[in-house]
Amino acid sequence: MTNQRQMDVEQFIQLYITIFDETPDRRMLQVLSDYLLHEDLSNSNAHKSTVTEYPILSKRQLKRRIYGEQGSRATNQNGEVALERAARYGVDGREYRLPVRRSRAYTSYEK
């Protein structure tokens, strides 16, 4: 976020308040916030989560991260493991899911 954009937004809000005597509505504030975060929102780097401290992920990247879907053919990311599956595994690679007891089917071998 550049200081010039921040000053532009502050001047716009002050001018809007002086003209209309009320604060901008939520749609106008959404547009202004998108204007402030233009560099972060338009970052198309596939590895932005390793480069940026607090990355803003697109909807597609978020679906890939959370649900493991919507892989990209342009990059090497064919989809990540869903977080629900990763929650069962520890850092050591062991699976810590509670075991499920199977019921055994008893069959009669009498002839």
pTM for this entry: 0.53
What would the DSSP string read from start to end of 47-90? THHHHSSS----HHHHHHHHH-----SSSS-S-PPPHHHHTTB-
Cα separation of 111 and 104, whole Å?
21
Residue 89 Cα to chain centre, angstroms: 21
More confident call, 29 vs 77:
29
pLDDT tens for 27-67 read 999 999 999 988 888 877 777 777 888 888 777 777 777 76
pLDDT category at 8 given cuts 50, 70, 90 is very high
Q: What is the mean pLDDT of the chain?
A: 80
Q: What is the CA radius of gyration of the chain?
A: 25
Residue that the structure tokens 């879907």 belong to:
69
